[in-house]
Amino acid sequence: MKVNYLSFKGICHALVLTLLSVATLSAQRVNGVVTDAESNEVLPGATIVVKNEGRGTATDSEGKFSLEASEGEVLTVSLVGYAPKTVTVGTSLTLNLSLSPDNQLDEVIVTALGISREKKSLGYAAQEIKGEDLTKARETNIINSLSGKVAGVTIVGNPSGIGSSSRITIRGERSLNINRNQPLFVVDGVPISNELRGSSGSSYQEADYGNGAGFVNPDDVESITVLKGASAAALYGSRANNGVILITTKTGKNTKGIGVSVNSTVSFENVLRLPDYQNVYGQGLGGVFEFKDGNGGGAADGVDENWGPKMEGQLLAQFDSPTSNGFRGGDVGNLFNTIGPVNLDQQLAARGSINATPWVARPDNIKDFFETGVTQTHNVALTGSNANGDFRLSYTWLDQVGTVPNTDLKRNTISFAGGYNLSPKLKVRTAINYLTNKSANRPNLSYGTENIMYLFNCWLGRQVNTASLRDYWQAGREDLNQFNYNYNYHDNPYFGLYENTNSQDINRVYGNVSLTYDLRDDLSLMLRSGTDASNEFRARRRAYSTQRFQRGSYREERIGFTELNTDFLLNYKKTLNQRFDLNLGLGGNAMRQVGRFSDVIAPELAVPGIYTLSNSRVALQNLTNTPYTEKRIHSLYATGQLGFNNYLFLDVSARNDWSSTLPSDSRSYLYYAANVSAVLTDALNIKSDILSFAKLRFGVAQVGNDTDPYQLATTYAAQQAVLGSPSYSESSILINANLKPEISTSIETGVDVRFFHNRVGLDFTYYNTQSKNQILPIPLTITSGYSARIINAGLIENQGMEVTLNITPIRNRNFSWDIALNFSRNRSEVKELFTDPESGQEVSNYVLATRYVTVEARVGEQMGNMYGIGYARVSSDPASNYYDPTGQNVGQIVYNSQGKPIPTSSRILLGNYNPDWLGGIGNTFSYKGLSLGVLFDVRSGGKLYSHTQTVGREGGTIEETLEGRADGYDLTVAGNGVIGEGVVQNADGTFSANTAKLSAREWHTTYTLGRGLIEGVMYDASFTKLREVRLGYTLPNKYLGKSSLRDLSITFVGRNLALWTKVPHVDPETSSNVGGTIIPGVESVALPSTRSWGVNLGFRF
């Protein structure tokens, strides 16, 4: 018989039944009011649920409710801060209920394996975000919505405006591999990919294609739980070592009948912050400029810097000045190898002479280049449930137009969740999400010609009217020659964005199906299979005359990724006697990950404007050496929870993994977790008006971890053929055939106390993690023949604290004010690195990443320390070259005889990119149906390197470069020239003040001594952001009368509205993206972040 239930036909039949037959009982409508038993004030927001039926409602702003219930049914009324109450429906159609304030807390939170548990029973820190917080003030990348709301979470992103990628870390950096510090994302119990795949190489600059978890649709999310520690690792495996972001999708449970909900948001984005540009001097050099061919033909017109004439309205030939023959000044093609060598003289003659136009500043030339971004999201969801099942079907359409011209994103998500009780003992559930994500163009990132910010922040002439660049082909040479203000170094930004596109097309499905069978009342078995499968196609076009691609180029990248998880979980649950509750689980998981990649490039195009691989002028090149990867992990785990008198809870779990990536003798590894929660107020029977609730928790967890596939054998990588000869090179990463699994051990302890009938709540957590035997490619000097060797190494200690404080200063009948504060602080210290057991050679520092600065792990120092060349300074150390026995000049910067700072001979510590602490302050004010939420996000401390500062000075673009040219470039004029503040060392070793004056350009172009001395461009990355403002109104349903419309709400939202920081020019909350790795602490001419304003409308019927 049971076999029938399991048949496919049976399941389909059941699902159809679920959709169609939503039961209607012979019910009556019960009305009532819920009040506070002590104050008699009405209580809005109390929920009334019909027990075991899944039907329910909530009280409105006047404490009133109305629902259908049959005589004899039991109603449960609950509200946070009050003791729940159950009543049985009688014959009366009116039910007025009063609730007593309760010291008990029955908050429920979704935890590992999707199990809802009372928060008080948890022995570890977890924080929850409701789905509503994600959909009203929405972000295209859902990860960004967590900013400022969860203690201990750091998020840095690449602000491209259209669902760009974000890096999230919880409780700081534990791993020496900078890519392995992110948490695991789990949707409905099954892990999903959070891959960020790089896209550079062969002269193509990095473009931001988003990160895997960023594609989750906020409209389908019921809640997000952040499990901060490693406690859940036994249940989700090693990847949960860095915490878990647990996403629970919406279902049709607890909805009455068939319901339809609609939620729409339209928001407008503009640029939050642009650099402060100077608006005094235009393009040129030494005060001179005149356009002839943009290539050095005119006076300094090949120069792409702003050391030219003052912009005073004088008449000068410019690229957009009209010519005698009706062309523009810049309509002259010099790009030689596009259509063969060109005769410049003939072209100049054809163009005609330039009629000079006024030389004026364009203060808004960059601001005006950016457009108003528009994001529309529309969601419609159909839900239904009855005693036997429930379903939810949802469709979401996202359409985004970025602030960067010609960038967009279109995402369609269909989500289905359903469950059905096939028999009283057998339940089936599924949740499936299918999405398509398309972008015609994603902007390029990082320093280089393909990123518009490279041009804007560093080089663009301040006199250039960007609107003149909009018509970006040279007259008569469409598809062949771009039109630009400078042909020596740059691409026209409109040309780059409209012609050189980076498209993306993703199809992805993730979800799971599960069967739960109750073997006995106290024993159940769950079988589940889940997958995350995606196919991505990226096409990248480069037009003829692009600086880096004179003959154009075309590239196709295909990325296929599948992760399949198959689980079983046997669960035993028993109340042993009056005092003990026992819950035991035995589970297993088989995980398989397969990746398929191809990346093919047509290095040059035969025919301009045709973007196909077959239009390649030369042989196609293959750019990937790893077309296929596969990895498997098999696991068994056991968990147990023991509850005592509902105030003492013990959780234990253990897991054994078998990973395909490790050598056979160390393939199997066991790890465990245990934690305790004690509710003191209950245990000690404390009843107090002051202390409402107190809980202590303590946990310890150990996690083992594996590595990437194919790390055990040296291989040879195919190289680009050399003049037709195929070629290979041995991998420069030295493998280690004897790898052991990584092990990290963490302890966590915390306290949760509530006061004044839960109107003040404080949660404090301290944690300490020791991560050892990390598997990582430890960099070697290339003189050893290898760039890195893979080893088990290191001991990183990570400790910190998290505090959340919730206060409700005012709560009365009509008005309430809630404050939510969170604060966190983390320190990661490198305790040990590596000592070669054979040679005894010791590794005392480890370079995690290099980009302008080196991020190094040195024994005894903090993780995230950044090193680089600094200023040589006068020292009190007699061994120093700059020793000052008098002590008078100690600390001063030492200049050379030419007035330039002397660099230190070796790299010095320039700071740490990790913040000292993070904080968030949320205020919510509610008045009847109206609510106002204001969220501030604070980050204190941490250093940032700014490439905008370095190069913006060289280009004379930013405001700072006015120093030393108060009145032109004549050094004899007062105010011109710069004398660096510091000393010079005299021949006799004494010091005297530096008096050497440098021209403004000399000073600013060598401010970093050719980008080598970077101490002067490190900034305190602290900031405060007005992260979110939300003003919402929910229309009481009574005004909707008999219409079927319900819960009509309208919300005005603003995100990232204001920024306060000491970092000049840029948003410190940005990062640099190199080869798929986001490097924190480095700003590399990132696209400006955006602020958004929008309106959200929701209703149901």
Partner 1 sequence: MKYTFLKSLSILGLIVLASGCTKNFDEINTNPNAPTAVNSGLLLPQIQRDMMNALLGETWGIGNIVIQHTAKNQFVNEDRYLWGELNGIWNNVYDNNRDIKIILQQSEANGENNYKAVALIMKSWMFSLATDAYGDVPYSEAISAKEGQNYPKYDTQEEIYNGILGDLKTASDLLGTSSESVAGDVIFKGDISKWKKLANSLRIRALMRISRKRDVRADLRAIVDNTATYPIFESVADNAVYAYSASAPDQFPLFSSRIGSFNEFRASKTLLDTLQSLNDPRMPIFFRPTPDTESSANPVFAGIPNGLNDVDALQYNGGPQFQSRIGSTFYEQAISTSGLSITKGIVMTFAELQFLLAEAAEKGLISGDAKAYYENGVNASFQFYGLTTPAGYLTLPEVAYGGTQEGNLAKIGFQKWVSLYFQGLEAWFDWRRTGIPALLPGISNQNDDKIPVRFRYPIIEQALNADSRKAAVDRQGPDDLNSKMWHLK
DSSP string of 329-354, one letter each residue: TT-----TTTSS---HHHHHHHH--B
Residue 613 binds to partner 1 (criterion: CB under 8 A): no
Site track for partner 1 across 556-585, x = CB under 8 A? ------------x-x---------------
End-to-end CA distance of the chain: 40
Question: Where does this chain touch partner 1 (CB under 8 A) — which range of 33-41, 475-483, 731-739, 1074-1082?
Answer: 731-739
Site track for partner 1 across 583-612, x = CB under 8 A? ---x-xxx------------xx--------
Residues 864-903 within binding reach of partner 1 (CB under 8 A): 867, 869, 896, 898, 900
Residues 6+ apart with CB under 8 A from 219: 131, 135, 263, 377, 379, 381, 394, 396, 413
Residues 798-857 within binding reach of partner 1 (CB under 8 A): 836, 838-839, 841, 843, 845, 847, 850, 854, 856
Closest distance of CB 1062 from partner 1, Å: 28
Residue 972 binds to partner 1 (criterion: CB under 8 A): no
Nearer to partner 1, 156 or 317 (CB): 317
Residue 302 binds to partner 1 (criterion: CB under 8 A): yes
Instruction: Out of 66, 98, 177, 203, point to the residue binding partner 1 (CB under 8 A).
Output: 203
Residues 36-95 within binding reach of partner 1 (CB under 8 A): none
Nearer to partner 1, 287 or 322 (CB): 287
Phi and psi angles of residue 1012, each rounded to the nearest 5 degrees, phi first: -100, -40
CA-based radius of gyration for the chain: 32
Residue 725 binds to partner 1 (criterion: CB under 8 A): yes
Rounded alpha-carbon distances, angstroms, from residue 86 to 98, 196, 1056 = 11, 50, 44
Q: Provide the token pair at 526.
A: 């769950």
Residue 986 binds to partner 1 (criterion: CB under 8 A): no
3-state secondary structure of 565: strand
CB-CB neighbours of 370 under 10 Å? 22
DSSP symbol at 183: P
Residues 224-283 within binding reach of partner 1 (CB under 8 A): none
Instruction: Out of 1, 690, 722, 879, point to the residue binding partner 1 (CB under 8 A).
Output: 722
Residue 660 binds to partner 1 (criterion: CB under 8 A): yes
3-state secondary structure of 815: strand
Question: Where does this chain touch partner 1 (CB under 8 A) — which range of 228-236, 718-726, 925-933, 1020-1028?
Answer: 718-726
Closest distance of CB 995 from partner 1, Å: 18
Nearer to partner 1, 337 or 995 (CB): 337
Place of tokens 């980009």: 851
Residue 981 binds to partner 1 (criterion: CB under 8 A): no
Residues that contact partner 1, how many (by CB under 8 A): 124
Residue 729 binds to partner 1 (criterion: CB under 8 A): yes
Instruction: Out of 130, 617, 1038, 1062, point to the residue binding partner 1 (CB under 8 A).
Output: 617
Residues 766-795 within binding reach of partner 1 (CB under 8 A): 779-787, 789
Nearer to partner 1, 296 or 1076 (CB): 296
Nearer to partner 1, 659 or 1072 (CB): 659
Nearer to partner 1, 28 or 668 (CB): 668
Instruction: Out of 709, 941, 1036, 1064, point to the residue binding partner 1 (CB under 8 A).
Output: 709
Nearer to partner 1, 688 or 995 (CB): 995
Residues 316-335 within binding reach of partner 1 (CB under 8 A): 334-335
Residues 468-487 within binding reach of partner 1 (CB under 8 A): 486-487
CB-CB neighbours of 619 under 10 Å? 10
Instruction: Out of 125, 184, 285, 455, point to the residue binding partner 1 (CB under 8 A).
Output: 285
Instruction: Out of 715, 888, 995, 1043, point to the residue binding partner 1 (CB under 8 A).
Output: 715
Closest distance of CB 789 from partner 1, Å: 6
Closest distance of CB 15 from partner 1, Å: 26
DSSP string of 410-430, one letter each residue: EEEEEEEEEEEESSSSEEEEE
Closest distance of CB 1007 from partner 1, Å: 12
Closest distance of CB 276 from partner 1, Å: 24
Question: Where does this chain touch partner 1 (CB under 8 A) — which range of 140-148, 623-631, 641-649, 1036-1044?
Answer: 623-631
Residues 348 and 332 sit within 8 Å (Cβ to Cβ): yes
Instruction: Out of 151, 300, 1026, 1059, point to the residue binding partner 1 (CB under 8 A).
Output: 300
Closest distance of CB 705 from partner 1, Å: 16
3-state secondary structure of 143: helix
The rounded distance, in Å, linking the Cα atoms of 561 and 510 is 11
Nearer to partner 1, 580 or 628 (CB): 628
Closest distance of CB 673 from partner 1, Å: 19
Q: Give the residue from 213, 119, 203 showing the smallest Cα distance to 157.
A: 213
Instruction: Out of 97, 126, 142, 303, point to the residue binding partner 1 (CB under 8 A).
Output: 303
Phi and psi angles of residue 627, each rounded to the nearest 5 degrees, phi first: -70, -20
- Output the CA angle 160-128-863, nearest 5 degrees: 60
Q: Provide the token pair at 881.
A: 């070259």
Residue 667 binds to partner 1 (criterion: CB under 8 A): yes
Q: Give the residue from 105, 137, 258, 256 showing the smallest Cα distance to 1091.
A: 137
Question: Where does this chain touch partner 1 (CB under 8 A) — which range of 1-9, 131-139, 613-621, 934-942?
Answer: 613-621
Rounded alpha-carbon distances, angstroms, from residue 740 to 180, 245, 669, 707 = 17, 27, 9, 10
DSSP symbol at 735: P
Nearer to partner 1, 850 or 1024 (CB): 850
Q: Is 315 exposed, middle or buried (0-12, 13-18, 19+ CB in 10 A)?
A: exposed
The rounded distance, in Å, linking the Cα atoms of 1031 and 648 is 41
Instruction: Out of 425, 438, 574, 634, point to the residue binding partner 1 (CB under 8 A).
Output: 634
Residues 529-558 within binding reach of partner 1 (CB under 8 A): 547-548, 550
DSSP string of 262-309, one letter each residue: EEEEEEEEEES----B--SB-SBBTTB---SSSSSSSTTTT--SB-S-
Residues 906-945 within binding reach of partner 1 (CB under 8 A): 906-907
Instruction: Out of 1011, 1076, 1093, 1100, point to the residue binding partner 1 (CB under 8 A).
Output: 1011
Closest distance of CB 637 from partner 1, Å: 10
- Output the CA angle 112-667-182, nearest 5 degrees: 40
Q: Provide the token pair at 453.
A: 């910010």
Nearer to partner 1, 616 or 1070 (CB): 616
The rounded distance, in Å, linking the Cα atoms of 106 and 988 is 78
Question: Where does this chain touch partner 1 (CB under 8 A) — which range of 63-71, 433-441, 627-635, 1032-1040?
Answer: 627-635
903-931 as b/e: b if 16+ CB within 10 A: bbeebeebbbbbbebbbbbbbbbbeebeb
Residues 496-525 within binding reach of partner 1 (CB under 8 A): 519, 525
Q: Is 1010 exposed, middle or buried (0-12, 13-18, 19+ CB in 10 A)?
A: exposed
Long-range contacts of 3-11 (CB under 8 A, 24+ apart): 5/422, 5/423, 5/426, 6/426, 6/515, 10/422, 11/420, 11/422, 11/428
Nearer to partner 1, 234 or 303 (CB): 303
Q: Give the residue from 856, 897, 849, 870 showing the smallest Cα distance to 1012.
A: 870
Residues 6+ apart with CB under 8 A from 981: 893, 994
Residues 328-387 within binding reach of partner 1 (CB under 8 A): 334-337, 341, 343-345
Nearer to partner 1, 980 or 1032 (CB): 980
